[in-house]
Amino acid sequence: MFSHLQPTPIDPILGLMAAYKDDPNPLKVDLGVGVYKDEQGHTAVLDCVKKAEALRLKNEDSKTYIGMAGDLSFNRHIEQLAFGQHKVLLSGRVTTAHTPGGTGALRVAAEFIKKANPEATVWVTNPTWANHISLFQAAGLKVKEYSYYDWDTKGLKFDAMLAELAQVPAGDVVLVHACCHNPSGMDLNFEQWKQFAHLAKEKGFTPLVDMAYQGFGLGLEEDTQGLRYVADLVDELILCSSCSKNFGLYRERIGACSIVTADSKITQIAKSVLLSVVRSIYSMPPAHGAIIVSHILDSQELTALWHQELAVMRNRINDYRQLIIDKFVAEGITQDFSFITKQHGMFSFLGINKEQIERLRKEFSIYMVGSSRVSIAGLNHSNIDYFAKAMAQVLKA
């Protein structure tokens, strides 16, 4: 039966990574891959993680399974990071399973939605993270897009977004990014979050909040402001979290799927369904990364260190947003790129065309996604001048 298989298209970002790796140009710049890099272009292990790993290795006495819900201490910490002292936690309305990464959390959420309402449509922002649509479709769910990013103004199509979501039927699911929208970097402000929350309550659709970058936007607490307001109003929501970026645990694949229900009795039912989904996909999650996170958040000293290291990453990205504009101006670029400083997280659309993107790759070995999405974290003091000069060249034509 395998002889009839047809090759599937290569993911554009994975193809870009391969092309970058094979490029012999010593000046090459990778602005495609969505991982944080420091000034040396390296994705280092955080010091708080190293200390927590040492503690884990010293105290670990078993490699047995940790159960379908994963590490319970980790789950509690993730819930508290997301909701703080919110009423949904205090009233027992949340159940969480730790998952293999944020991607695993989304797939678990997709299968949970399928069990709760097989006819549900999942609505995603246009544009959204490239893997969102395929994850939900793989679970047999219908997926539609709603207006979000405005390519002309480099802002949000918020009025169009509200108008379209007002037509979403009760029982459907609307995915919204908690912060650091991937791929645009454009986030809802708090007033817009309020309007979204009231619309969700009025229309009866279920918010699915994807929080892959908590702490990378405005701060750990600030990045949950919209989520917590939504939780104030609606009876039900789904939260997918990731520790890849804010703890630098990319390859450990640590995330969580949290279900918020109307009351604690329904929560127990939802928990049983959530765990049955987990059982049918991967049975038990990996333990290592989750226990590292638990060790960090169990310790005041390591938590303080994590906050410091997270702030360094966040501030470096924010500083480079302004530095990009300064360098562009110094190179005589007159096109307005001020929108870059209004965005949050690692990503931004530059708004240049495909021909210019191709020239950057062919003539300067500067790699970015075909949509002009760039990862700000790929820039550093050794390559930003080169990038600015290259941009000046391609924008002149």
Task: Enumerate the β-bridge partners of residue 177.
Answer: 210
> Which is catalytic among the residues 157, 245, 271, 327?
245
3-state helix, strand, coil in the chain (%, to 5): 50, 15, 35
Which of these, 323, 340, 395, lies nearest to 366 by C-alpha position? Answer: 395
Query: Do 244 and 273 touch, CB atoms closer than 8 A?
Result: no
- Mapped onto helix, strand or coil, the DSSP state of residue 17 is helix
- Mapped onto helix, strand or coil, the DSSP state of residue 19 is helix
> Which is catalytic among the residues 30, 210, 271, 327?
210
Residue type, 231: A
Specify whether the backbone of 376 is left (phi greater than 0), alpha (psi in -120 to 50) or beta: alpha
From CA 296, how far away is CA 268, in angstroms rounded?
29
**DSSP of 84-98, one letter per residue?**
TT-HHHHTT-EEEEE
Q: Cβ neighbours of residue 65 under 8 Å, at least 6 residues apart?
A: 284
> Is residue 245 annotated as part of the catalytic site, yes or no?
yes
| Residue 127 preceded by cis peptide, ω within 30 | yes
- Kind and range of the H or E element at 279? helix 264-281
> Is residue 306 annotated as part of the catalytic site, yes or no?
no
**Burial class, 355, CB count within 10 angstroms (exposed 0-12 / middle 13-18 / buried 19+):** exposed
> Which is catalytic among the residues 123, 129, 193, 306?
129
- The residues assigned a catalytic role are 129, 210, 245
